[in-house]
Amino acid sequence: MVEFRARHANGGWRWIEATASNWLDDPAVQGVIVNYRDITERKLMELRLQHGVLHDALTGLPNRVLLSNRLGQAIKCSQRNPQYHFAVLFLDLDHFKVINDSFGHPVGDRFLVTAASRLHRCLRSTDTCARLGGDEFVILLDDIHSLDAVVQVARRIIQQLSLPVEIDAQMLHSSVSIGIVFGSAEYNDPAEVLRDADIAMYRAKASGKSRYEVFHPAMREAAQARLALENELRRAIAQGEFIVYYQPIVNISSGELIGFEALVRWQHPTRGILTPAAFLDVAEEVGLGDAIGWQVLEHVCRQLATWQHSFPHAAHLSVSVNLSARQFMQPELYVRIVQLLTQYNIPPNCLKLELTESALMEYSQEAAAVLARLRSYGIQIAIDDFGVGYSSLSYLIQLPIDQIKIDRNFIIQLDQAHHSQAIVRAIVNLARSLDLKVVAEGLETTEQVDRMRTVGCHYGQGYLLGYPLPAAEAIRLLQGGE
Ligand code: C2E
Ligand code: CA
Ligand code: CA
């Protein structure tokens, strides 16, 4: 049986299947009979199916399977011929989720189709542009001579994809982050190339989006370390390895202890006590920040209950807990906090929640309502790291809050820059006029404490006044006050 193509009289092609049967031994026939059948319809269906297996339905671009085939060939080529190079660009659209969530999937799909056609225009006919799924695209630049040439393509793509896309009279804005692997004979497997390009893309995202990064082996180690940390964090959450240190907050006029700030620590089985700098960013990025945050809140409530029971004279002390932006916007935040306070029988005014300026700015629409609700229950609210972003000052002071904490960087500058003193004085005056309490953070010297006292700041926190302490040691401060 053979299949072949033949020209039709109308100029098009038809697919023909020929089957031959041997009738030579049949005295009546004594020949070979060939049957021809027009199989064009079946053939087209097959081709369509085959296309479907190798292409993405939405954009018509090659899919992962076809990309892997071509990438596999490129790898083989580079192993045979040292002059041959290929490059892989791993693309991920920035903020695509926002477009999808705010305008709906049909608009998101049209956006992707436009992005795909723009990508196509940046490439040569020998290049492969594939869609891996979602907003991820991969480009294989075949037989490319220099990294410079690759970078030029990447720049062109970044420029093209930053142009707005008009859909239904709306201008939608996005951009793209690109990870580049300039391929060589070291690779054996398409999956390895894609993994490295993905790692570089992740770097591009992390360092500000709408940019490219060229893969370097050191990035792989960093990515592996991150992954290991992520796994360790999951285990640590399950095993309850997070504990809370308590740093004293003091009235800087009277020296009286007014409360503590709860600061999370990881009691790591081999590395000792770790501070948030070693893990909190990664935990937030991979979505484990909430789980840690709730463990901290639970620790604090349990601790407060014990203290209030053992030291009735300390019943007025409050503990401040830091909330991440994500935790702050959890719909169940209010209910869960109220639940915890009730369960441990804690008066709501013993709990302070600290939120950074940026967390409040990020969710400026909803923030005021959430704060008002917590506050009406009696929980106190503090703005943390105050003074880091000025533009928001007028907005922030309108929020329903009780306290502002002046950032440590301001306090450091107090020693050198004269104008900082004026700014701090202005902040304190403004806060006082609004009946807000002011806490100075990071006080390390008696001069700093004196200055803050002079400008009228109420409370202070810092190594001079007390280090963050494990609960058992913080108790000694309470006993001392007996
Ligand atoms: P933060 O809220 O600004 O906390 C104050 C940080 O300054 C703490 O660092 C504290 O140990 C440190 N500090 C206090 N006094 C001084 C001083 O006199 N000099 C200097 N150089 N540093 C001082 P820590 O404990 O490493 O925490 C770092 C950050 O991690 C915190 O900054 C906070 O943003 C975050 N964090 C800590 N615990 C939690 C938590 O339970 N949940 C969340 N979401 N974030 C937390
Ligand atoms: Ca804080
Ligand atoms: Ca702070």
Better-predicted residue by pLDDT, 365 or 194:
194
Alpha-carbon span 361 to 467, nearest angstrom: 30
| Per-residue pLDDT at 459 | 98
Residue 380's closest CA among 323, 441, 327, 424?
A: 323
Percent of the chain with pLDDT over 90: 69
Residue 391 has pLDDT above 60, yes or no: no
Side-chain half-sphere CA neighbours of 225 within 13 A:
8
Alpha-carbon span 109 to 171, nearest angstrom: 15
Judged by its nearest atom, the ligand closest to the C-alpha of residue 382 is: 2
Alpha-carbon span 96 to 111, nearest angstrom: 9
Alpha-carbon span 71 to 86, nearest angstrom: 9
| Per-residue pLDDT at 387 | 76
Give the distance (Å) from ligand 1 centre to CA of residue 207: 23
How does the average pLDDT of the chain come out, rounded? 91
- Alpha-carbon distances, residue 361 vs 27, 327, 383 (angstroms): 95, 14, 11
Residue 9 has pLDDT above 90, yes or no: no
pLDDT tens-digit map of 275-292: 999 999 999 988 999 999
Judged by its nearest atom, the ligand closest to the C-alpha of residue 355 is: 2
Give the distance (Å) from ligand 2 centre to CA of residue 459: 14
Residue 443 banded pLDDT, cuts 50, 70, 90? very high
Contact 246, 468 (CB under 8 A): yes
Percent of the chain with pLDDT over 70: 97
Beta bridge partners of 76: none
Alpha-carbon span 343 to 438, nearest angstrom: 31
Give the distance (Å) from ligand 1 centre to CA of residue 263: 6
Q: Would you give the DSSP letter of residue 62?
A: B
pLDDT tens-digit map of 78-123: 999 989 999 999 999 998 988 888 888 999 999 999 999 999 999 9
In the chain, the N- to C-terminal Cα span, in Å, equals 100
Nearest-CA residue for atom 12 of ligand 1: 442
The mean per-residue pLDDT over the stretch 152-176 comes to: 94
Residue 142 has pLDDT above 60, yes or no: yes
CB contact set of 229 (below 8 Å; sequence gap of 6+):
279, 282
Alpha-carbon span 315 to 306, nearest angstrom: 10
Does residue 87 line the site of ligand 1, with CB under 6 A?
A: no
Does residue 273 line the site of ligand 1, with CB under 6 A?
A: no
Atom of ligand 1 nearest to the CA of 245: 25
The helix/strand/coil state of 12 is: coil
pLDDT tens-digit map of 48-88: 777 778 899 899 999 999 999 999 999 999 999 989 999 99
Alpha-carbon span 458 to 436, nearest angstrom: 10
The helix/strand/coil state of 370 is: helix
Atom of ligand 1 nearest to the CA of 407: 3
Q: Would you give the DSSP letter of residue 255?
A: -
Substitution site in 242, 244, 263 for ligand 1 pocket (most atoms within 8 Å of beta carbon): 263
| Per-residue pLDDT at 481 | 53
Alpha-carbon span 102 to 170, nearest angstrom: 12
Q: Which of 256-265, 308-317, 319-328, 363-372 has the lowest mean pLDDT?
A: 363-372
Does residue 468 line the site of ligand 1, with CB under 6 A?
A: yes
Residue 128 has pLDDT above 90, yes or no: yes
Rounded to 5°, the CA angle 63-205-86 comes to 45
Q: DSSP string covering 91-159, please?
A: EEEETHHHHHHHH-HHHHHHHHHHHHHHHHHTS-TTSEEEEEETTEEEEEE-S---HHHHHHHHHHHHH
Residue 393 banded pLDDT, cuts 50, 70, 90? low
Alpha-carbon span 132 to 55, nearest angstrom: 10
Give the distance (Å) from ligand 3 centre to CA of residue 404: 10
Give the distance (Å) from ligand 1 centre to CA of residue 277: 9
Residue 273 has pLDDT above 90, yes or no: yes
pLDDT tens-digit map of 300-349: 999 999 999 999 888 889 999 999 988 988 889 999 999 999 999 999 99
Judged by its nearest atom, the ligand closest to the C-alpha of residue 385 is: 3
Give the distance (Å) from ligand 2 centre to CA of residue 140: 47
Contact 323, 365 (CB under 8 A): no
Give the distance (Å) from ligand 3 centre to CA of residue 269: 28
Alpha-carbon span 293 to 353, nearest angstrom: 12
Residue 383 has pLDDT above 80, yes or no: yes
Nearest-CA residue for atom 11 of ligand 1: 468
Does residue 277 line the site of ligand 1, with CB under 6 A?
A: yes
| Per-residue pLDDT at 390 | 56
